[in-house]
Amino acid sequence: MDAKSLLASFTCPLIPVVVIDRLDDAVPLAEALLGGGISALEVTLRTPMGYDAIAAMKSAFPNSKIGAGTVCSEGAFDRAAGSGADFIVSPGATDRLFKAAANRGLPFLPGAVTGSEVLMAMEYGYHTLKFFPAEAAGGVPALRALSGPFPEISFMPTGGITPDSVATYLQLTNVSAVGGSWLTPQHLLAEQRWEELRQLALDSVASVTQISEERLM
């Protein structure tokens, strides 16, 4: 399955960006988010717990979609795949990452924010890309501008997106999903307030469902 088909299979276009500092938090956090209607999680490799968190989540929820984010090297790609990641997300792209993706056969969302980076990804056969850091790189206006020369490209913007701005992103025709950390506030995670996290997911899913329905009308 390629990245485009993967994102299209999600019932919810919100992808929480998850940072795990304590391994014991991995499973209850996944349970809260998945129980709140989230279709997939992106576990970043910004902490040493990332790989083990992916493995723990996949063990507890084998039918869920758990991806690895902040994958910046061929070695990290291979290790994330070995941990059970269903898809790989990178803030950028290199020849080595494209090689790792080809060898592993996992859905891969390489990062691209400029025309040259989009063209490079297209040369490797990719048409679904991560747009990071979204707000700092121009946000909605930049994505709207990229839709002109690249109408066949779909993006998953991440970085600086908030509950107040997510609707403007999802209304763009070249945005297939949105990633963000607002679904996992650090203070709720630190205090293990799983029910509040689940409710936050429920509320967010309800909001974007309405946006998606309006987009189809």
Residues labelled catalytic: 42, 130
* Per-position DSSP letters for the chain, written without gaps between them: --HHHHHHH-SS-EEEEE--SSGGGHHHHHHHHHHTT--EEEEESSSTTHHHHHHHHHHH-TTSEEEEE---SHHHHHHHHHTT-SEEE-SS--HHHHHHHHHH---EE-B--SHHHHHHHHHTT--EEEETTTTTTTHHHHHHHHTTT-TT-EEEEBSS--TTTHHHHHTSTTB--EEESTTS-HHHHHTT-HHHHHHHHHHHHHHHHHHHHHHH-
